Amino acid sequence: MSSPGNAFVRTRRWRVLRHIEGYLYVLPAFVILGVFQLWPSVYTFVLSLHDWNFIRRVPRYIGLANYERLIADEYFWLALRNTAVYSLGVVPASIAIGLALALLLTGTRRSALYRVLLFTPVVTAASAASIIWKWMYAPGADGLLNRLIGLAGLGPERWLQDPELAMPSVVLLGIWKSIGYNVVIFYAGLRNISREYREAARIDGASPWQEFSRIVFPLLAPTTFFVLVVSVISSFQVFSQVYVMTGGGPLNRTLVLVYYLYNQAFGSFRIGYASAIAFVLFVILLALTLVQRLVLQPRIHYDN
């Protein structure tokens, strides 16, 4: 007959084994995050404290000199401003259009087909999509967009060569590329809202706008918050569109942070300086995410 002490030991051992089993389940995820997320971030900060050009075998430690240079670099601030302009153009429009299309899809029978069609730009390689849109933006009568506006007696325009039109042209591609993802996420959020709330509102005589503004949109707040955070992070990392379509021009009007980082690293071989730009971008995205969380998340009710 086993004593109470032995039973306690067995129970304690079983609980320890259960905890170890749980850690083993999440260990692969931690390893992947550590190898591909945490370690590159730490190593980028370490590189930002050095001067290195791929040729010198050992990087030379220079402390915060790269960050001091960054503060005085007018092209860095120009790239940051252009990135903010791109984000302000893409994020609100892609969220609003994505939500509107998701609302339309909830009342259609072939919503799965439409979702696949709308999601196609998301899975299309950014470089391939940029080449197609660059052809559409071709100057003169060769460009598809100029042909379309020519039917209304307008144009032709030099979309990617005009300093005033280059950034809006890139923004338009960014909106087209991100709408499908937002549609799918919003559609899933709308499906999680109980029909009883909407039916009760209709019985009480609520108009479609009142139903949306007072029932649907507040219950969709967690989904909207997620889409906003992801969209901001994605917009600040724009690169392929600028690299393929404009190369940062004309007159640096489309020079964005990641493209400027790329030029410093692989154009001028200033690896330490490029690492400083990358780390500052990481800090900016972290700060924006924290601000959104502190300001918006307390106002969100997660109990649907």
Query: Which one, of 38, 75, 1, lies nearest residue 277 by Cα?
Result: 75
pLDDT value at position 301?
64
Query: Between the ranges 51-55, 57-61, 221-225, where is the mean pLDDT highest?
Result: 221-225
d(CA 257, CA 149): 32
pTM for this predicted structure = 0.88
DSSP annotation of 210 reads H
Find tokens 């690299």 and name the residue. 243
- 5-14, 182-191, 201-210, 213-222: which has the highest mean pLDDT? 182-191
Enter the tokens of residue 253. 């009007």
The mean pLDDT value of the chain amounts to 88
Kindly state the percentage of the chain with pLDDT values over 90.
Answer: 55
The values of phi and psi at residue 60, to 5°, are: -100, 125
Q: What percent of the chain has pLDDT over 70?
A: 95
Q: What is the pLDDT of residue 8?
A: 55
Q: Rounded distance, CA 180 to CA 183, Å? A: 5
pLDDT at 212: 86
Mean pLDDT across 78-90: 96
Give the least confident one: 37-41, 103-107, 109-113, 242-246: 109-113
Most confident of 164-178, 204-218, 289-303: 164-178
Least confident of 59-63, 101-105, 126-130, 209-213: 209-213
Kindly tell me if the per-residue pLDDT of 67 is higher than 70: yes
Assess whether pLDDT exceeds 70 at residue 227.
yes
What are the residue ranges of helices labelled H in 124-207?
Answer: 126-136, 144-150, 166-191, 195-203
